[in-house]
Every structure is written in structure tokens, then in C-alpha cells.
Amino acid sequence: MFKLTPLLAAALLATSALAAPPTLTTVSERSGFLKTGRYEEVETLCRDFAKAYPGRVRCWEFGRTPQGRPMLALVASDSGALSPADARKKGLPVALIQGGIHAGEIDGKDAGFQALRQVLDGQAAPGALKKQVLVFVPVFNVDGHERFAAWNRPNQRGPEQMGWRTTAQNYNLNRDYAKADAPEMQAMLRLIDLWDPLLLVDLHVTDGAKFEHDVAVQVEPVHAGDEALRDVGRAWRDGVAADIAKQGSLPVVFYPSFNEDDNPLSGFTDGVSPPRFSTGYPLLRNRLSMLVETHSWKDYPHRVRVTRNIVVSVLERMAANGKAWQKVAKEADGRAAQLAGQSVALSWKASPKVREIEFRGYAYTRTPSEISGALMTRYDESKPELWKLPLRDEILPDLQITAPKAGYLIPAEHAAWMADKLKLHGLSYRVLKAPQGKAEVQTFRATMAKRGAQSVESHQRLDLQGQWAAEARDVPAGSLFVPIAQPGARLVMSLLEPLAPDSFAAWGFFNNHFERKEYMEGYVAEEVAREQLAADPALKAAFEKRVAEDAAFAKSPAQRLDFFARRHSSWDDRFNLYPVLRTDRQP
């Protein structure tokens, strides 16, 4: 008679465990969407999905965080294309879907794993993965994900515990696409450059007031970027919104943040995010982006369900339209490479035009708070109410700059770090091997340089005023030439035009050049002033006129002496000179 000994039982149990298929459900699903798992679960699921779906899923590490954790992506396709080279060879469009850029807003991780399993099993979007490649990053901000606690998101209902908004180095990754400071963002930009995704879907949870709408779906290009791609973006946005509306959601297509904090009657203003954001960056590379913001006051099961529905809709619509959209994007690359000498919009704003919309909120009161002393809005979620609110959603170009006819010249002293940034953004440049001598270029001299009162993302931002003017400047060997004739022309201008909102200049990378380093002693300036006044009657008249008409100037000894110091040969002609040059001729 067979006898099952404890040792044999343990061996059989171990063998059974090895043979059993991996469990591909999440902690979230198994808890009834009350909890979310730790990052160890992502590592396990990434590996197990690849085992469960051989030849259809690949688990890929694309970077390491500052605390040493792997940044993982799951690549999924039924086309056999699980590498960038295979995707390009087969001409397949790529969708990049990322969760946890703000790791407390973790709906995208749990919804993404659920949607991916259902799509692979044919339970949702059947056949969609035959016509595309999905790159799914469950958690972008991995170190922040592991700063795990209850109430990390005090304005959010569930899960029981969650990660933190920023990275271990305290970077907000959704402010870093342009400047690319964080190692995590640098890894993501390398991933983007490698895979060239047609779509970037960024999964978030919003803050804000209490209302019935459960999700905002924003897409670009719609208001900005290539004109033909705007039609694609609008169709994609409206299609996804319609899909989830049929499943019971109440989507809006703008960010539902009141114009006046905590005041519903102030209404909303739509806009275009600058390229520090996930929705403002891809349009500059002639690609599409979608910002998904489930509403924080909906419970976690509801939010995960809505996010899952959006992921499935995105994959269905990509399968149906991806090839056509890909063609439009490639044509947009060609159009962008021909922007030389044309006016290019680098920022956007809503016009004063207002329309009234119906918005589904709740009954509320606004009364003074005995705690803060300010007006406080109190919502009654038992009483739905239809609000009629103003919306400004006519978006017009704000800052418009004429593109250089050839490109930009980056001086040798800034070439090393700038080359690294340009590579991260997938932008073309070449190193000048020989000095160019006195080249006819355009220089930007600031007439005003105002520094931010406090740091932003570890930078002291710089607000400049000024304009480009023709000038002859030395261009040494080792300088970089960045041509405007490339698909990323809009991104080139957004990074290198000093007035652009997320340029390297605006982020303070060149602040040293707007600091005065040499001074003329007052007693020397007094002597210089007298010599200049005696030698130039026109100058004397100009000085006296300034004293008579400008009271602040008249009362300031420093300004009065500076009037003459600036006209002396010792004056630093590089003070307030932006070091990057524009050129109308290829060197």
C-alpha cells in the first residue's frame, strides 16, 4: 500500500507548484480592489506574464532607479514583434501605456495588468494585438511607489495604501519631460526614442472638487501641433470617450479644475500643456498623447474599472486605425522638417470666448469656515445637481517664433551636456570639427532677466525678455550645429528658443550668463562719466533727459553711474547674451 510520507508530500506539493500556471491576477483584484500590491508584485507579474504567454509577451528592464530598483516594461504583441527592430520591420504602430508616474495615483498599474490579461486571453479587444505592439510600463515612478503608506493621497478614495507622488530624489516626473533631470525620465526618453510609440497614454488620478463626472480624457494634438494630426487626435479622443460612455462613464475632455480654487461658479479653462508634461511633449515629436485622469472621489473599484475600459478602448481603436494614423504621423515628420523660416507656435492660451456647458455636480453651499476663515465649499453627494458653468476652450497660439533658416549653434563650452540632452530627445546634431571664424549669426540679448523667487524642481527658473538680432560672432571648433530640418523641429525650438516656456534657458540652465561678474568702482565710473560727457554733447543731452524724465533713475546713484559704465570699452559684451546662436546658413 502506498504511504504518503511528510517528505514525499512536500516534494509533490513543490512539483505541483512548479507545474501550475502562474497566477496573473493582482493583489488589487483578489482584494476586491481595496488594496494595491507592492513593487515586488510588478516584478513577479512581469516575469509570469512572459512565461504564461511565450512569444506574445516579453518582460524588459529599461532602466534602474536611484535606489537601485528595476524599471520594467511588458511588451505584448500577437505579431511576433517583441523588439523595436521587429516592430519597425513589420511596420506596426506602437502604443506606450504608462501607470504610476505619480505613484500614489496607481489605478493604471492594476487596470493595465487586468486589461492586458483579458486582451491576451481574447476576453477583450480580440485580435487587437495582431495589429500593434503594446509597451506597458506598470509603474514609472518606482521608488515613489515604494514610499508606501495610507493617506499618501488625502484627496483620494482608495486604495488602502499607495505610493508617493515624487521620486526618491523628489522629482515630479510629470514636470520633467523637457529638462530630463531625473534618471527615471532619462530612461523613459531612451525607451521612447527606441520604440517611437505612435501613442503615449499616461494614467493618472485627478484632485479637485466633488462632482459626478468620473474621468477626464485629454488628447494632443487637438489644439496644437501638426494640423493633420489634430484631426487624428480629435477622432481618437472622441472615440474613446464615446466607448466608455456606453459603459456607464461620464467623461469630460478637459481638465476639470476650477478657474478659482474651490469655486464651481468660476467654471473651467482648457489649454495645451507645455512640454514638461506628458501631454505637451509627444506633439512636439509629431506623436499622440492621452492624459487619463480618473476622479479621485470615486472609489478605487470604480476608478480601476474605468481605467481598464479606457486601456481596452485604446487598443481596439489602435487596431482599427493605427496604420492610417501612423501614416499621418510620418507625413507630419516630413512637414516638421520643412519649418525653416516659418512661424511656429511654442505656447498656447485660451481666448476670452466663453461658452456655457452643463456639468454634473452636487448640491453645495459656500460659507465661511470657522477653521480657515475663508469661504469653504461643502458638497452634498446625496443630491446630484446639473450645473451650468462657463468654459473657455477656444485655444489660440500665444508665443510664436519664426524658425531659423538653418538651425542653432551651441558653443563648445556647452556642447558636452547639451549633446547628452539632445540625444535623450532623439534630436540630430553634428559637431563642428573646424572653427567657423566670425560667422554671421543671430544673437539674443536679454533686455530683462527675472529669476524665480523660489526653486522649481531644483531649478531657479528664468523669465527673459529680448529679441534676436544679426551679429558676427566667433564659432569655435567643438560647437554643435542643430539643424532645424528634422522631424523634431518643434521640439528643437521648444528647447532652444529662450522665450519658450520649457526651454533650457527658462529652466535656468544658462543663468550664469545673465549674472554680472565684473564691476567698475564708483570713483572710476565718476571719472569715466566726466570724460564721456566732455567728449560727446549728444551723450550729455541724453543723460540729462533721462535724469529729468526718469525719477527712479535720477534717485539711483548706481543706475546713473551704470549709464556710463555700459558705454565704456571695459563693459562685458557677453552679459545678458544667450550663448546659443541661430544661423541661416549651414556651417
Query: Does 404 share its domain with 532?
Result: no
- Average pLDDT along the chain: 95
pLDDT band of 46, cuts 50, 70, 90: very high
Pull the grid cell for residue 215. 474621468
Mean pLDDT of all residues in 256-276: 97
Q: Under a CB-based contact definition with an 8 Å cutoff, are residues 365 and 394 in contact?
A: no
Mean pLDDT of all residues in 211-240: 98
Mean pLDDT of all residues in 210-220: 98
Mean pLDDT of all residues in 194-203: 98
Whether the per-residue pLDDT at 553 is higher than 90: the answer is: yes
Q: Residue 9: its pLDDT value, please?
A: 37
Q: Is residue 342 part of a domain?
A: no
Q: What is the pLDDT of residues 329-371, one digit of tens each?
A: 999 999 999 999 999 999 999 999 999 999 999 999 999 999 9
Q: Provide the number of structural domains found in the chain.
A: 4
Mean pLDDT of all residues in 53-67: 98
Q: Is residue 15 part of a domain?
A: no
Query: Does 177 share its domain with 322?
Result: yes
Residue 507 to residues 202, 398, 411, 510, Cα–Cα distance (Å): 24, 19, 19, 8
Query: Does 528 share its domain with 504?
Result: no
Q: Residue 23: its pLDDT value, please?
A: 83
Whether the per-residue pLDDT at 565 is higher than 90: the answer is: no
Pairing type for strands 133-137 and 70-76 reads antiparallel
For residues 477 and 480, give the distance between their C-alpha atoms in angstroms, rounded to a whole number.
9
Mean pLDDT of all residues in 85-92: 98
For residues 158 and 153, give the distance between their C-alpha atoms in angstroms, rounded to a whole number.
9
Whether the per-residue pLDDT at 2 is higher than 50: the answer is: no
Q: Is residue 306 part of a domain?
A: yes
Mean pLDDT of all residues in 64-70: 98
For residues 408 and 401, give the distance between their C-alpha atoms in angstroms, rounded to a whole number.
14
- In the block, cell 472609489 appears at 299
Q: Under a CB-based contact definition with an 8 Å cutoff, are residues 402 and 342 in contact?
A: yes
Whether the per-residue pLDDT at 232 is higher than 90: the answer is: yes
Query: Does 512 share its domain with 530?
Result: no
Whether the per-residue pLDDT at 11 is higher than 90: the answer is: no
**Which domain, by its residues, includes 561?**
522-565
Mean pLDDT of all residues in 233-250: 98
Whether the per-residue pLDDT at 13 is higher than 50: the answer is: no
Q: Residue 572: its pLDDT value, please?
A: 81
Query: Does 218 share its domain with 117?
Result: yes
pLDDT band of 18, cuts 50, 70, 90: very low
Q: Is residue 542 part of a domain?
A: yes
Query: Does 360 share its domain with 426?
Result: no
Query: Does 325 share its domain with 472?
Result: no
Q: Is residue 27 part of a domain?
A: no
Q: Residue 113: its pLDDT value, please?
A: 98
Q: Is residue 365 part of a domain?
A: yes
Q: Residue 19: its pLDDT value, please?
A: 38
Whether the per-residue pLDDT at 12 is higher than 80: the answer is: no
Query: Does 454 share its domain with 482?
Result: yes
Q: Is 89 helix (H, G, I), strand (E, B) or coil?
A: helix
Q: Residue 7: its pLDDT value, please?
A: 41
Q: Is residue 554 part of a domain?
A: yes
Query: Does 383 share its domain with 441?
Result: no
**Contact residues for 286 (Cβ-Cβ < 8 A; gap 6+):** 225, 226, 229, 329, 332, 333, 336, 487, 488, 490
The share of the chain scoring above pLDDT 90, in percent, equals: 93
List the one residue out of 406, 482, 399 whose CA is nearest residue 224. 399
Q: Is residue 161 part of a domain?
A: yes
Whether the per-residue pLDDT at 70 is higher than 80: the answer is: yes
Q: Residue 14: its pLDDT value, please?
A: 35
List the one residue out of 435, 436, 466, 460 whose CA is nearest residue 575. 466
For residues 58 and 51, give the distance between their C-alpha atoms in angstroms, rounded to a whole number.
9
pLDDT band of 22, cuts 50, 70, 90: low
Mean pLDDT of all residues in 458-468: 98
pLDDT band of 3, cuts 50, 70, 90: very low
Query: Does 406 share its domain with 386?
Result: no
Query: Does 554 share its domain with 498?
Result: no
Q: Residue 21: its pLDDT value, please?
A: 52
For residues 141 and 163, give the distance between their C-alpha atoms in angstroms, rounded to a whole number.
9
Q: What is the pLDDT of residues 359-417, one digit of tens each?
A: 999 999 999 999 999 999 999 999 999 999 999 999 999 999 999 999 999 999 999 99
CB atoms within 10 A of CB 477: 11
List the one residue out of 438, 429, 510 whose CA is nearest residue 475. 438
Query: Does 154 share its domain with 220?
Result: yes
CATH number at residue 44: 3.40.630.10
Mean pLDDT of all residues in 259-266: 95
Strands (DSSP E) found in 221-339: 251-252, 268-269, 288-295
| DSSP state for residue 569 in the 8-state scheme | T
What is the arrangement of strands in the sheet containing 407-410, beginning at the earlier edge strand?
430-431, 480-483, 407-410, 581-583, 438-451, 462-474
Q: What is the pLDDT of residues 132-180, one digit of tens each?
A: 999 999 999 999 999 999 999 999 999 999 999 999 999 999 999 999 9
- In the block, cell 556642447 appears at 415
The share of the chain scoring above pLDDT 70, in percent, equals: 96
